[in-house]
Amino acid sequence: MTSLHTTRRGFLAAASALSTTALLGMPAFAQGYPSKKIDYVVPYNAGGMSDNISRLIGEKLAAATGQQVINDYKPGAGGAIGANYFMGTPADGYTLLQSTNSFYGIIPLVTKVQYKPLEDLVPLVLVGDAPMVIAVNPAVPATNLAELIAYAKANPGALSFGTAGKGTVGHLSGEWLQKRAGIQLLHIPYNGTPAALQAVLANEAQILFGPESAEHIAAGTLKGIAVLGDTRWQQLPDLPTTVEAGLEGWAPRSWHTVSIQAKAPQEVKTKLNTLINQILQEPSVRERVASFGLIPGIASYDEVQQRARDDNAQFGALIRDAGLAIAN
Amino acid sequence: MIGGVDVFGGIALGLGVALTPMNIFFCLAGCLIGTLVGVLPGLGPTATIAILLPMTFGLPPETGLITLSGIYYGAQYGGSTTSILLRLPGEASSVVTALDGHAMTRNGRGGAALTIAALASFFAGTVATFFMAAFAPIMAAAVLKFGAPEYFMLMFLGLITSVVLAQGSAVRAIAMIFLGLLLGLAGTDINSGQYRYDFGFMELLSGVPFVPLVVGLFGVADILVTLENAIRDEKPPTLNPISSLWPTRKELTRAAPATVRGSLIGLFLGLLPGGGALLSSFMAYTAEKRISKTPQKFGTGMVEGVAGPEAANNSGAQTAFLPLLTLGIPSNAIMALMVGAMMTHGIVPGPRIMSGQPELFWGLIASMWVGNLMLLVINLPLVGIWVQLLKIRYQFLFPTILTVSIVGIYGVEFTTFDVYLTAIFGLLGYFLHKWRCEPAPLILAFVLGPMMEEYFRRSMLVARGDLMIFVHHPISLAMLVVTALLLLSICFPFIQKFRQKAFAE
């Protein structure tokens, strides 16, 4: 299965990185790192998913390094305020940013930010993917992706999808499905995911993209159609992926990472990737990440750069097609 | 039968959970913290719960949630204390309480106002607990009956009723409504993603923040006005001495029916996500003013204007849990934090909670009643202490209020931008007072305006541009009729006057 393959490859990469450093020894700078407290910028309000992840990693990082890791909350403008604040801190590797792939694929394209993705800001690790589940109201006469596409083709414009707003991963998932399947859907933006979920439950909108539908799929109040991408989700193991259903290649995805300024010394980046990957491989941590509703992941430093590059290109194309990009 | 347990079995099960010594202790602790937090202006329950969240991770899930919900409704109680005594509403729903509550304080009836607020809240909490236990599934279904057109008509009705809120001239009230609507326009347009009136400030991309607006317009402006009077009259500002802490028999008999009406209004409106909490207290106030034989006296310290909104506020605060517990939909920022708390225990809020986690569901509902009882026990003796606040010399009291407000406001988003905004709104509030304009309609319009726009445009999206959607949906039609009747009743005196004049000529 694809998921096992990815995981095993990640494991091997991380393990080889570990053994290499053990054999060659760390360069002088990284050996001393970290020699003082680490600031951990969370660009959202306390209590949310990003905060949960940052607390989990921060606590373990502090234990592993013997240094304090202190959370600094800078919410606002969908994470852009925190990112801009982060770019103003010294690039010495002692400030980290809790982030998602939106910081590489979406936010810099639709908001004025003071960084160029992957040139100024780079991801360090893959914490986990938030599964983008396609769920529909039970009134929609379709039980799988082929039927949903056929119904949408027979009734163009009849189906609408509810999202947490313009330029969210949910919105771009809808744009992607329209483009890939050659169908027409109406986009109805809501003020946040809970409102969109409520609308799909009430059949005001018919389709929802994201992990929030899981409980309702299990209870039968919504119908699960597929998971975007190539990896099934442990919480809904019977739900096929869009790749299995015939839509090959890249699909919109949402994953969590820890970012650092690109100018930070490469040894520090490598060391942090190793340190955090060790943490993420602990069974108890994987269990916690899964309990947040994520698919726990693991990736080497180079793999996660590639992920961010792909998302930057693919989301960028979707955003331009949807007419969303702003002149920066 | 609900999820394998009948209602009485459920309540028994719930009380069994809520009345264990540990849960009673944490419920009490939560209520105490919440009361203190509510009393501090600016520092709201959302920030507190976010800060205390990790401390509950080590507790069993029921205990953790009982503590957090204790903070939540404790803060509802505490928020009305500063509204009544200092005209400092810490949150949207206590803006209304400030109107007549603070007027009562100026009349020397501050203690009585606090006592009535506590009693009304307790009654409303009891009613809400009972309704939630008995009718949870029906009430949850009602939430899904509310689509975009229904929300729009409800907001529209709310906005029209806000004219009724004004004590002075209707023209000034309408001006304030428009000012509120304009302020509410700032931020990101939800349909196009365009930025409006952000003036280059990223902080404004999610709109003008609420707490600085309220603290500025009410608290800071009030201090400025009082100080100006003190300087002009060359004597320190004084309030009428607090007479008795207890309400008179007459006050109680007037407050009782208002409490019942307020509880019922809050029961329903609290279910609605977003503006529900604010609308319920505004609607309750409007209802009292329209029913009253002396509507012109509202704003001068009418006890109904305290009891009704406080009851509505509290029963609404409790029914707000229902969409979360039955549908997994958090109806406000605090409920969203509750989701976070549940997730860390591996509980996913949703339709399976009631059957899958009956101890949690019924324990939480039973703890609400226990919590309300505790709040009454905590708050009645505290009334005497709170009113002592008023005896502090203003040279010390005012700087303290300002300092605490600024710290609290900074703590909401950790940005100095909000602190500057508070200063600007404080000045605006001062001038509004000079021009005899009421800030309450402004606040309501500020909150409702953006939501009205959102729901209107969404209705148009859903209906593919057909305005008849508001007539075709029965609930929306009913509210449309009520709005029309209300508009007529507001205009009728003018029409009558005009006709008398016309006939006279």
Burial class, B110, CB count within 10 angstroms (exposed 0-12 / middle 13-18 / buried 19+): buried
| Statement to judge: residues A119 and A143 lie in one domain | no
Read off the pLDDT of each residue in A285-303 and give the average, rounded to a whole number: 91
| pLDDT reported for residue A13 | 45
| pLDDT reported for residue A15 | 44
| Statement to judge: residues A139 and A92 lie in one domain | no
Read off the pLDDT of each residue in B409-433 and give the average, rounded to a whole number: 88
Strand segments (E) across chain A: 38-42, 69-73, 95-100, 121-123, 128-130, 133-136, 160-163, 186-189, 207-209, 223-227, 254-261, 295-296
Q: Please indicate whether, in this complex, the C-beta atoms of B53 and A46 are within 8 angstroms of each other.
A: yes
| Statement to judge: residues A25 and A125 lie in one domain | yes
Q: Please indicate whether, in this complex, the C-beta atoms of A201 and B206 are within 8 angstroms of each other.
A: no
Closest-CA residue of chain B to A186: B461
In a domain, A244, yes or no: no
| pLDDT reported for residue A1 | 31
Cα B190 to chain center, whole Å? 24
**Residue A200 domain boundaries:** 133-227
Q: For residue B380, give every residue at least 6 positions away whose Cβ sits within 8 Å of its Cβ, in sequence order, or none.
A: B115, B118
| Statement to judge: residues A302 and A153 lie in one domain | no
Other CB atoms within 10 Å distance of the CB of residue A36: 9
With a cut of 80, say whether residue A30 has pLDDT above it. Answer: no
Closest-CA residue of chain B to A160: B462
Confidence band for A10, pLDDT divided at 50, 70 and 90: very low
The one-letter amino acid code at B462 reads: V
Contacts of B50 in chain A (CB under 8 A): 45-47, 51
Confidence band for B503, pLDDT divided at 50, 70 and 90: low
With a cut of 50, say whether residue A28 has pLDDT above it. Answer: no
d(CA A209, CA A242): 12
| Statement to judge: residues A57 and A92 lie in one domain | yes
3-class SS of residue B2: strand
- Say yes or no: B148 contacts chain A, CB-CB below 8 A: yes
| Statement to judge: residues A24 and A80 lie in one domain | yes
| Statement to judge: residues A41 and A138 lie in one domain | no
d(CA B104, CA B383): 14
Could you tell me which of B82, B77, B130, B324 has the C-alpha nearest to residue A197? B324
With a cut of 90, say whether residue A175 has pLDDT above it. Answer: yes
Confidence band for A275, pLDDT divided at 50, 70 and 90: very high
d(CA B282, CA B161): 9
| pLDDT reported for residue A322 | 83
Read off the pLDDT of each residue in A275-286 and give the average, rounded to a whole number: 95
In total, the C-beta contacts within 8 angstroms joining chain A to chain B are 122
With a cut of 60, say whether residue A23 has pLDDT above it. Answer: no
| pLDDT reported for residue A19 | 43
Please report which helix (H) or strand (E) contains residue B188, including its range.
Answer: strand B187-188
- Two structure tokens written together for B244: 């008795």
Read off the pLDDT of each residue in B328-355 and give the average, rounded to a whole number: 79
Cα A195 to chain center, whole Å? 21
Among A15-29, B148-162, B302-316, the range of highest mean pLDDT: B302-316
Half-sphere exposure (Cβ direction) of A20: Cα atoms closer than 13 Å: 10
d(CA B194, CA B205): 10
Please report which helix (H) or strand (E) contains residue B196, including its range.
Answer: strand B195-196
Contact B443, B213 (CB under 8 A): yes
| Statement to judge: residues A81 and A192 lie in one domain | no
Last residue of a domain, one of A187, A212, A227: A227
Summarised one tens digit per residue, pLDDT across range A51-110 is 889 999 999 999 999 999 999 888 877 888 899 999 999 999 999 999 999 999 999 988
| Statement to judge: residues A42 and A142 lie in one domain | no
**What does the DSSP 8-state code read for residue B323?**
I
Half-sphere exposure (Cβ direction) of A155: Cα atoms closer than 13 Å: 11
Confidence band for A191, pLDDT divided at 50, 70 and 90: confident
| Closest CB to B144 among A84, A194, A202 | A202
Cα B438 to chain center, whole Å? 18
In a domain, A34, yes or no: yes
Say how many domains are in chain A: 2
Q: For residue B258, give every residue at least 6 positions away whose Cβ sits within 8 Å of its Cβ, in sequence order, or none.
A: B120, B284, B288, B303, B304, B307, B308, B311
φ, ψ dihedrals at B304, nearest 5°: -65, -35
| Closest CB to B350 among A80, A205, A216 | A216
Q: Please indicate whether, in this complex, the C-beta atoms of A216 and B336 are within 8 angstroms of each other.
A: no
Cα B291 to chain center, whole Å? 21
- Say yes or no: B193 contacts chain A, CB-CB below 8 A: yes
- Say yes or no: B495 contacts chain A, CB-CB below 8 A: no
| Closest CB to A214 among B327, B348, B414 | B348
d(CA A2, CA B278): 50
Cα-atom radius of gyration of chain A, to the nearest Å? 20
Q: Please indicate whether, in this complex, the C-beta atoms of B348 and A51 are within 8 angstroms of each other.
A: no
With a cut of 60, say whether residue B443 has pLDDT above it. Answer: yes
d(CA B102, CA B332): 27
Q: For residue B9, give every residue at least 6 positions away whose Cβ sits within 8 Å of its Cβ, in sequence order, or none.
A: none
- Say yes or no: B351 contacts chain A, CB-CB below 8 A: yes
Q: Please indicate whether, in this complex, the C-beta atoms of B190 and A189 are within 8 angstroms of each other.
A: yes
Q: Please indicate whether, in this complex, the C-beta atoms of B351 and A219 are within 8 angstroms of each other.
A: yes
| pLDDT reported for residue B276 | 67
Range name among A41-50, A87-96, B185-194 with the lowest pLDDT average: B185-194
**What does the DSSP 8-state code read for residue B439?**
H
Q: Which of B51, B206, B271, B329 to mutate to test the interface with A (most CBs of A within 10 A)?
A: B329
3-class SS of residue B253: helix
- Say yes or no: B198 contacts chain A, CB-CB below 8 A: no
Q: Please indicate whether, in this complex, the C-beta atoms of A81 and B329 are within 8 angstroms of each other.
A: no
Last residue of a domain, one of A211, A227, A243: A227
d(CA B430, CA B246): 33
| Statement to judge: residues A79 and A138 lie in one domain | no
| Statement to judge: residues A30 and A108 lie in one domain | yes
Contacts of B192 in chain A (CB under 8 A): 166
Q: Please indicate whether, in this complex, the C-beta atoms of A188 and B328 are within 8 angstroms of each other.
A: no
Summarised one tens digit per residue, pLDDT across range B1-46 is 344 457 778 888 888 888 899 999 999 999 998 888 877 766 667 7
In a domain, A238, yes or no: no
Distance from CA of A237 to the nearest CA of B (A): 17
With a cut of 90, say whether residue A38 has pLDDT above it. Answer: yes
With a cut of 60, say whether residue B164 has pLDDT above it. Answer: yes
| Closest CB to A81 among B203, B331, B461 | B203
Domain ranges of chain B: 7-504
| Statement to judge: residues A63 and A98 lie in one domain | yes
With a cut of 90, say whether residue A244 has pLDDT above it. Answer: yes
Confidence band for A323, pLDDT divided at 50, 70 and 90: confident
d(CA B347, CA A55): 19
Q: How do beta strands B187-188 and A128-130 pair?
A: unpaired
Contacts of B273 in chain A (CB under 8 A): 194-195, 198
CATH number of the domain that residue A78 is part of: 3.40.190.150
Contacts of B416 in chain A (CB under 8 A): none
Summarised one tens digit per residue, pLDDT across range B278-305 is 788 888 988 888 888 888 888 888 999 9
Mean pLDDT, chain B, integer: 83
Q: Please indicate whether, in this complex, the C-beta atoms of B329 and A197 are within 8 angstroms of each other.
A: yes
Q: Which of A39, A52, A287 to mutate to test the interface with B (most CBs of B within 10 A)?
A: A52
Residues in B 447-486 with any Cβ partner in A closer than 8 A: 454, 458, 461-462
CATH number of the domain that residue A199 is part of: 3.40.190.10
